[in-house]
A and B are shown apart, each in its own frame.
Chain A
């Protein structure tokens, strides 16, 4: 879900090729969730093999990473760790939405309303432990590095971007900007021509680049103030103030400087305010991560996908060719260490 501050941010349309030669930290849960929610049969049934084991996450990860790697992009997947206790309410709300969507999905199937069924099915999407484990396994076999963050994956990814270890964060959510990521890339995992759910329509989805500093400069606010705007709008960690969107939040910051000095001072409990700020401005971070891209393990990938999940041999072989890493290492000079 994330925070809705889209309305005040300027986005730039880019092409996949513009990211050539960069390392991108991918918000793993966010991305796999998209695959599982979007890769379905027309009536909304998730894709699975003949044993009923879901395969949408594997199909998505395989084909999308082939595209990224053959475009010269180096993806690094960051999985969420333990959610902050502040997030409990959000998680509970999501659970309720899924339960309701489940019921509506079944109703729609009974009424044979496929478009509705598809759209409700998307809302029921859950990532199971098995899916996450299998996602890590396929990444490993593809030679793509990943890690589990101490808490929010976007927090870890953003710190890595601030250190310069990755160039941008790929996520649909805007939270990484609050965590200080200099660049956010949206739609990286769904760009191209996409069929609209439940309809015979196609839509062109473009990759969007959102840069933090230029946006802050244009808006005339600091990152701390952007975090305050997000808190007013509502984040995964707090409810937000009813009736306040990004534009009203921005206006308050420009006028008063912070939540405390604004008309909303009473609307957010002081302790919650300081904890949510702390979460975004000083997130927990693991210093030790391996950023190493390897050649894919062809045998392992064939065994996993063809034997365990009935992928066709041709599609896996084609993918393997795309996953071959070109030599991207450069000889360093000792002067770098002098």
Chain B
């Protein structure tokens, strides 16, 4: 059961962070809020999302699963203006999500969740942790995009660097420790990532946010940030490109 209402921009943000990886997703509803775990079809990236009931204007939930077509929900939310409240109600009999925006009532049929099991989250320990502004991350990505399809993330005790090498061009964007909000490293680590995935993930972070980044050597990268004014948490995991 779900009966809740939330500001449109919070729902749009959720749609943004999820749609970078999947078209359809299974949201787990309970009394405390909504959560989701999903892996993209290529198994290259994963998202774990938790949204506490504090993110909603009002919230009533009981354990259930909602299979949502993310693209469809994105289109529906376009009907809302910033600041509008969006009311969500699960009609269990018809397996529909009823979405009310102002005078609009949109009945969206849900996707069958029978085949959608929660992916297993890899248990990985990453040696290097840092925190930085989302803008810095996106700036480094922007610098790389004209050079290559890949981006190398390199960190040691003194700095964090995003770099790319193309056939003839290359670029580095180096952030010394002072420019980071936090840096905990022991030795140098470096991993290479597909830029399209990484860029989409970083763009889903709302500007002004802090992002926590965990990095290893030829290991997946973990990106964590808060959404919905601290009432929600997103964790992305992205697998590296590794020399074969």
Q: Is there contact, CB below 8 Å, between B240 and A332?
A: yes
- Whether, in the assembled complex, A85 has its beta carbon less than 8 Å from a beta carbon of chain B, the answer is no
Q: How far is the CB of A147 from chain B (nearest CB, A)?
A: 14
Q: Is there contact, CB below 8 Å, between B194 and A338?
A: no
Tell me the A1-42 residues at the B interface (CB within 8 Å).
21
8 Å CB contact of B244 from A21, A292, A295, A338: A21
- Whether, in the assembled complex, B94 has its beta carbon less than 8 Å from a beta carbon of chain A, the answer is no
Q: Mark B227-243, 1 if CB is under 8 A from A, else 0.
A: 00000000001011111
Q: Is there contact, CB below 8 Å, between A337 and B239?
A: yes
Task: Give the residue name and chain of the B residue nearest to A290 (CB).
Answer: B188
Q: Is the interface of B mostly helix, strand, loop or mixed?
A: loop
Q: How far is the CB of A72 from chain B (nearest CB, A)?
A: 11
Q: Is there contact, CB below 8 Å, between A334 and B242?
A: no
Q: Is there contact, CB below 8 Å, between B46 and A334?
A: yes
8 Å CB contact of A334 from B44, B170, B190, B194: B44
- Whether, in the assembled complex, B87 has its beta carbon less than 8 Å from a beta carbon of chain A, the answer is no
Query: How many interface residues does B have (CB within 8 Å)?
Result: 29
Task: Give the residue name and chain of the A residue nearest to B188 (CB).
Answer: A290
Q: Is there contact, CB below 8 Å, between A295 and B170?
A: yes
Residues of A near B219 (CB, < 8 A) are 337
Residues of A near B46 (CB, < 8 A) are 334
8 Å CB contact of A332 from B39, B123, B170, B239: B239
How far does the alpha carbon of A332 sit from the alpha carbon of B44 in the complex, in Å? 7
- Whether, in the assembled complex, B78 has its beta carbon less than 8 Å from a beta carbon of chain A, the answer is no
- Whether, in the assembled complex, B45 has its beta carbon less than 8 Å from a beta carbon of chain A, the answer is yes
A333-B43, A334-B46, A334-B239 given as contacts; is B244 within 8 A of A328 (CB)? yes
How far does the alpha carbon of A331 sit from the alpha carbon of B242 in the complex, in Å? 6
- Whether, in the assembled complex, B220 has its beta carbon less than 8 Å from a beta carbon of chain A, the answer is yes
Interface size of A as a range: 20 to 34
Q: How far is the CB of B171 from chain A (nearest CB, A)?
A: 13
Q: Mark A71-84, 1 if CB is under 8 A from B, else 0.
A: 00010000000000
- Whether, in the assembled complex, A50 has its beta carbon less than 8 Å from a beta carbon of chain B, the answer is no
Tell me the A263-309 residues at the B interface (CB within 8 Å).
288, 290-293, 295
Q: Is there contact, CB below 8 Å, between B243 and A331?
A: no
Tell me the B35-64 residues at the A interface (CB within 8 Å).
39, 42-46
Q: How far is the CB of A74 from chain B (nearest CB, A)?
A: 8
- Whether, in the assembled complex, B114 has its beta carbon less than 8 Å from a beta carbon of chain A, the answer is no
Q: Is there contact, CB below 8 Å, between B239 and A329?
A: no
- Whether, in the assembled complex, A203 has its beta carbon less than 8 Å from a beta carbon of chain B, the answer is no
Q: Is there contact, CB below 8 Å, between A331 and B244?
A: no
Q: Mark A298-338, 1 if CB is under 8 A from B, else 0.
A: 00000000000000000000000000100111111111111
How far does the alpha carbon of A74 sit from the alpha carbon of B123 in the complex, in Å? 31
Residues of B near A336 (CB, < 8 A) are 239
Q: Is there contact, CB below 8 Å, between B241 and A334?
A: no
Q: Is there contact, CB below 8 Å, between B150 and A329?
A: yes
Task: Give the residue name and chain of the A residue nearest to B242 (CB).
Answer: A332
Residues of B near A333 (CB, < 8 A) are 42-44, 239
Q: Is there contact, CB below 8 Å, between A330 and B239?
A: no
How far does the alpha carbon of A290 sit from the alpha carbon of B237 in the complex, in Å? 24
How far does the alpha carbon of A336 sit from the alpha carbon of B42 in the complex, in Å? 13
A288, A291, A334: most-surrounded residue (chain B CB, <10 A)? A334
Q: Is there contact, CB below 8 Å, between A329 and B242?
A: yes
How far does the alpha carbon of A338 sit from the alpha carbon of B119 in the complex, in Å? 10
Q: How far is the CB of B157 from chain A (nearest CB, A)?
A: 15
Q: Known A-B contacts: A333-B42, A333-B43, A338-B122. Give 8 more (CB < 8 A).
A: A295-B165, A295-B170, A330-B244, A332-B44, A333-B44, A334-B46, A337-B123, A338-B121
Which residues of B come within 8 Å of A, CB atoms? 39, 42-46, 120-124, 150, 165, 167, 170, 187-188, 190, 192, 194, 219-220, 237, 239-244
Which residues of A come within 8 Å of B, CB atoms? 21, 74, 288, 290-293, 295, 324, 327-338
CB-based closest 7 A-B pairs: A337-B122, A329-B241, A333-B43, A332-B239, A330-B244, A338-B122, A334-B239
